[in-house]
Amino acid sequence: MSRLYRILATGLAGGLASVVFLSPAAAKPLPDESEETSFYGFNDEIPEVLTTTRLRQPKTRVPGTTTVITGELIRDLGIMNLVEVFRLVPGMVVGDVGSSTPVTTYHGTVHYEQRRMQVLVDGRTAHRATLSDMDWQTMPVPLETIERIEVSRGPNAAAYGINAFLGTINIITRSPSDTSGKEVRVVRGSRNYVRTFASIGDVSERYDWRVAYEKRKFDGFDYQIEDKMRTPFHDGQDINVLTYDSRLKVNSGFNADIRAGVVDGVNEEDMFKSGELSPLANPDIQVRDFYLQTQNN
């Protein structure tokens, strides 16, 4: 009996010693509540989205599928025209129709008429409802002035009307306070491709402003194949864009944003590609558009 007692006592003492000496090493410190844990990408900052619900919300809380493309990414990739940006969006198709006219669609549901998808620039519509069309070649948005592009992939007629059936594209430009100073950029390529951009702006205590100019020129392709014959192809463009952006700081709680722009130039249309309703004698499109937008913040 005494031997059994000694065995039990020895085992109990060893177990207590293990608890005493091993517990501190095995114990884990409580997590610090102030430590921030990121679940979006590789510790990236979660972007805020405005387009989907018209409310400023983190992307992870938006009740819809939204793609955000930053202007910095667009410029780093060397993208040369606005419509090419949407190749980065899942489900979107970008191509050319007619006289090399660029189109973008969601799941390839349209051809010439780019309907059922709303396009906004700083909140104002850029979709031509009378023609049920989008003219991407003459959009008054230089790539250098883009802050980000938000693409809401899915129906959103409750927020933007019946045209937002498949999706909504919102192009948000940079604030004049982010582009103060002077900037000049010239890009040249084959077939007399030229894209020239220049901007100047300033920031003060009461007034921020920016004036930007962009020229887009391209002679187009040399020829096309029609009925196994090589014929000239008339599909060039010569577009000039002048934009003005400003912010008037009235007081600490009220700012007035003023945006204006003028687009002038020529979009060449080949008479064999311009469609059944276009005049055959001179189908070229003379572009003369302007816009004026005011917004209070």
| Structure confidence by residue, pLDDT tens digits, 76-90 | 999 999 999 999 999
Q: What gap in Å lies between CA 237 and CA 285, rounded to an integer?
A: 10
pLDDT digits (tens, 9 = 90+) for 12-51: 455 444 444 434 444 455 555 444 544 445 556 778 888 8
pLDDT digits (tens, 9 = 90+) for 221-256: 877 777 777 877 878 899 999 999 999 998 888 899
Give 116's DSSP letter: S
Q: What gap in Å lies between CA 262 and CA 86, rounded to an integer?
A: 24
CA 219 to chain centre: 27
Please state the domain extents for the chain: 48-296
pLDDT digits (tens, 9 = 90+) for 122-148: 989 988 877 778 889 899 999 999 999
Q: Give SS3 for 157.
A: helix
Q: Say which CATH superfamily domain 48-296 falls into.
A: TonB-dependent receptor, plug domain (2.170.130.10)
Between the two ends of the chain, the Cα-to-Cα distance in Å is: 90
Q: What gap in Å lies between CA 190 and CA 79, rounded to an integer?
A: 16
The 10 Å CB-count burial string (b at 16+, else e) for 16-30 is eeeeeeeeeeeeeee
